[in-house]
């Protein structure tokens, strides 16, 4: 786990003392790229100035879309995202994954956050045979490069180490290099997009997959939101394999200024890589 340890050590040098007590942050896309920022201010707090793009919980949360949010967690604060997903393949078989946890920690640099992804539990069933195991552990860094009154842009690096069990590990180090951007169209609609460069171990047969994605989101009254995302995964199943297309639609609700709940459905219509569909839900909490 050399790479993850290096990232953890580097990020700890920049970490503030984390305020886990239930004191409110100072007042002030992820998905998230997924939802548009809320129209009313909340307790996230300003850090970049008058045009701060990260003044709502919806702008910070990154689940459950493929595109991650541009915004980062603020200094002295932590955001935890968890979720449940049940995927069914058209040819039979299903996989349940939970809690899909992401721990995002604000550092002393306002635009920089440190990310940790503990293992999730996966349970796969096919032909009456069930297998349960854990996924690989990961860590990385995320940074906001810049912003304007309507747009923001940033980047992210993330690495996983082969700690998974029972076939749910890549059996090698995976690396993700991503760029994200968001643009506010009007008081209701916004666009967010990203591109990820994935270096995948695949049991020693390393290959690269490019993942572009685009999210249209709508901010509704009373902390509600809707979103739709389209993504593509080149070499979806390994070197020389076809590109897979995936769609997600979902809804979210901010419960107060710290808690967000979401529900979503996704599917892939690509026959050559195996059609599937899934449903999921999640919670995100800002400390």
| pLDDT tier for residue 3 given thresholds of 50, 70 and 90 | very low
What is the DSSP code (8-state) at residue 275? -
Token readout for 104 is 């995002």
- Integer Cα distance of 196 and 59 in angstroms: 19
Higher pLDDT, 217 or 40: 217
pLDDT at 180: 97
Does residue 131 carry a pLDDT above 90?
Answer: yes
Does residue 153 carry a pLDDT above 60?
Answer: yes
Given a contact cutoff of 8 angstroms between Cβ atoms, the answer to whether 272 and 242 are in contact is: yes
Does residue 138 carry a pLDDT above 50?
Answer: yes
Residue 195: phi and psi, rounded to 5, are: -140, 135
Does residue 29 carry a pLDDT above 80?
Answer: no
Peptide bond into 137 cis (omega under 30): no
The 10s digit of each residue's pLDDT in 37-48 is: 433 334 576 667
pLDDT at 13: 44
Token readout for 169 is 């590990």
| pLDDT tier for residue 56 given thresholds of 50, 70 and 90 | confident
pLDDT at 31: 34
3-state secondary structure of 59: helix
pLDDT at 179: 97
Of 52, 60, 3, 59, whose CA–CA distance to 28 is shortest? 52
In percent, the amount of the chain with pLDDT more than 90 equals 71
- Integer Cα distance of 32 and 68 in angstroms: 6
Across 12-16, 63-67, 116-120, 151-155, least confident range? 12-16
* Mean pLDDT along residues 219-228: 95
2-286 classified as CATH 2.40.160.40: yes
Report the relative pairing of strands 102-106 and 121-126 from DSSP bridges. unpaired
Q: What's the whole-model pTM score?
A: 0.83
Strands (E), the chain: 78-89, 94-98, 102-106, 112-117, 121-126, 129-134, 137-147, 151-161, 174-184, 189-200, 207-219, 224-233, 244-255, 259-268, 276-286
Given a contact cutoff of 8 angstroms between Cβ atoms, the answer to whether 103 and 114 are in contact is: no
Question: Cα–Cα distances in Å, from 250 out to 27, 57, 118, 245, 262?
Answer: 28, 17, 25, 17, 7
Positive/negative CA dihedral, 36, 196, 102, 121: positive
Of 225, 226, 228, whose CA–CA distance to 246 is shortest? 228
Give the CA angle between residues 94, 232, 205 to the nearest 5°: 75
| pLDDT tier for residue 4 given thresholds of 50, 70 and 90 | very low
Across 26-30, 152-156, 263-267, least confident range? 26-30
Does residue 32 carry a pLDDT above 60?
Answer: no
Question: Cα–Cα distances in Å, from 119 out to 10, 59, 86, 131?
Answer: 21, 25, 17, 16
Does residue 36 carry a pLDDT above 80?
Answer: no
pLDDT at 19: 35
pLDDT at 128: 83
Of 202, 194, 196, whose CA–CA distance to 240 is shortest? 202
Does residue 126 carry a pLDDT above 90?
Answer: no
Peptide bond into 139 cis (omega under 30): no
Of 168, 183, 158, whose CA–CA distance to 132 is shortest? 168
The 10s digit of each residue's pLDDT in 230-283 is: 999 999 999 999 999 999 999 999 998 899 999 999 999 999 999 999 999 999
* Mean pLDDT along residues 46-65: 83
Mean pLDDT taken over the chain: 86
Token readout for 91 is 């040819």
Token readout for 14 is 């920049």
């Amino acid at each position: 786990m050399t790479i993850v340890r290096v990232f953890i050590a580097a990020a700890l040098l920049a970490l503030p003392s984390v305020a886990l007590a239930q004191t409110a942050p100072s007042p002030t896309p992820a998905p998230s790229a997924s939802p548009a920022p809320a129209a009313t201010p909340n307790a996230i707090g300003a850090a970049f100035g008058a045009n701060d793009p990260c003044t709502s919980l919806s702008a910070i949360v990154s689940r459950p879309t493929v595109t991650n949010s541009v915004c980062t967690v603020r200094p002295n604060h932590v955001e935890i995202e968890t979720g449940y997903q049940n995927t069914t393949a058209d040819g039979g078989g299903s996989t349940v994954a939970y809690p899909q946890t992401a721990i995002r920690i604000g550092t002393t640099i306002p635009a920089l956050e440190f990310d940790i992804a503990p293992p999730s539990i996966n349970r796969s069933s096919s032909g009456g045979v069930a297998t349960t195991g854990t996924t690989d552990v990961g860590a990385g860094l995320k940074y906001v490069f810049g912003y304007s009154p309507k747009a923001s842009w940033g980047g992210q690096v993330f690495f996983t180490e082969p700690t998974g069990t029972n076939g749910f590990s890549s059996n090698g180090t995976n690396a993700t290099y991503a760029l994200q951007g968001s643009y506010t169209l009007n008081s209701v609609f916004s666009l967010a997009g990203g591109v990820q460069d994935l270096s995948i171990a695949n049991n020693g047969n390393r290959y690269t997959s490019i993942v572009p994605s685009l999210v249209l989101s709508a901010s509704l009254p009373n902390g509600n939101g809707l979103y739709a995302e389209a993504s593509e995964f080149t070499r979806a199943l390994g070197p020389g394999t076809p590109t897979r297309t995936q769609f997600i639609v979902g809804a979210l609700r901010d419960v107060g200024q710290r808690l967000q709940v979401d529900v979503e459905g996704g599917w892939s219509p690509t026959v050559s890589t195996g059609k599937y569909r899934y449903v999921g839900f999640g919670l995100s909490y800002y400390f």
